[in-house]
Amino acid sequence: IEELIKDDRWSVFPELLNSEKPDSVAANLLEGRVAILVDGSSYVLTAPALFVEFLQVSEDYYHQFIVSTFIRILRYSATFLTLFVPALYISLLTFHQEMIPTPLLISIASQREGVPFPAFIEAILMEVVFEILREAGIRMPRAIGSAISIVGALVLGQAAVQAGIISAVIVITVSITAISSFAIPNYSMSNAIRYLRFILMILAATFGLFGVFIGLIVITLHLCKIKSIGVPYLTPIA
């Protein structure tokens, strides 16, 4: 149903909110939205859905407003980190070394000595491996799934650094990106950000920071253009 009633079927961003929590659905109904229930499914779609809603959770309303606001700002920061950290790493190391402070640049250069791959290939390899580990962790039994994904990433990263295949900096970069992605509460939005991250990495490897900012502008324009059941997606910002 969500696929069929989306305003923009080719957009990677989710345009309807799905939830299993009765309090979230009730709150959306009270705000004038429509809830779509299907027999046999525990998920309920609510429409229209705004971009800001995908970074909110019902627990925000059970805390003091100062605390909830701070946590929401953290989520927005985590979304930006997930999207841009690997792309910035690639663009700075490939095209804009002069923007990195000299002591840090010397440290990175010494770590990358003997690494056979350029920054882009190194980052893509690590990101793909982590995505495979994350997917494997989800499919495995819950008791060992999370342990496998975390331990697997640590062991693989450490072994790859010691073998001289990748540098330690890329392990830190991928770790920051992965941890930040877990702070995005909505799975559909998290998938969209993960997909766009790879496109930004390709733009960074091709055009440097110029490509990253072009990507940011295109994403922003796309978010301003799309609508959820006729309501602008970035309301009230748009």
Q: To which residue do tokens 């540098």 refer?
A: 167
Which amino acid appears at position 66 of this protein? I
User: Measured between alpha carbons, how far is 158 from 46 in angstroms, rounded to an integer?
Assistant: 44
Q: Would you state the structure tokens that stand for residue 22, as one six-digit string? A: 């009765």
Q: What angle do CA 89, 162, 88 make, to 5 degrees?
A: 5
Please report the pLDDT score of residue 143 as a whole number: 65
Q: Name the 3-class secondary structure at 17.
A: strand
Please report the pLDDT score of residue 23 as a whole number: 85
Helices 65-94, 119-139: inter-axial angle, 10-degree rounding = 140
Please report the pLDDT score of residue 147 as a whole number: 66
Query: 58-80 burial by CB neighbour count: b if 16+ within 10 A, else e?
Result: eebeeeeeeebeeeeeebeebbe
Q: Would you state the structure tokens that stand for residue 178, as one six-digit string? A: 């992965």
User: Measured between alpha carbons, how far is 182 from 1 in angstroms, rounded to an integer?
Assistant: 27
| 236 contacts 48 by C-beta, under 8 angstroms | no
Nearest by Cα to 229 from 22, 5, 24, 9: 5
Is-cis flag, bond preceding 103, omega within 30? no
Q: To which residue do tokens 């994403």 refer?
A: 219
- What is the chain's pLDDT, residue by residue, as a tens digit (238 residues)? 888 888 878 888 888 888 888 888 898 899 889 999 988 888 899 988 888 888 888 888 888 889 999 999 999 999 999 999 999 999 998 898 888 888 888 888 888 787 888 888 888 888 888 888 887 777 777 667 666 666 777 777 778 777 878 888 888 888 888 888 888 888 888 889 988 999 999 999 999 899 999 999 999 999 998 888 888 888 887 7
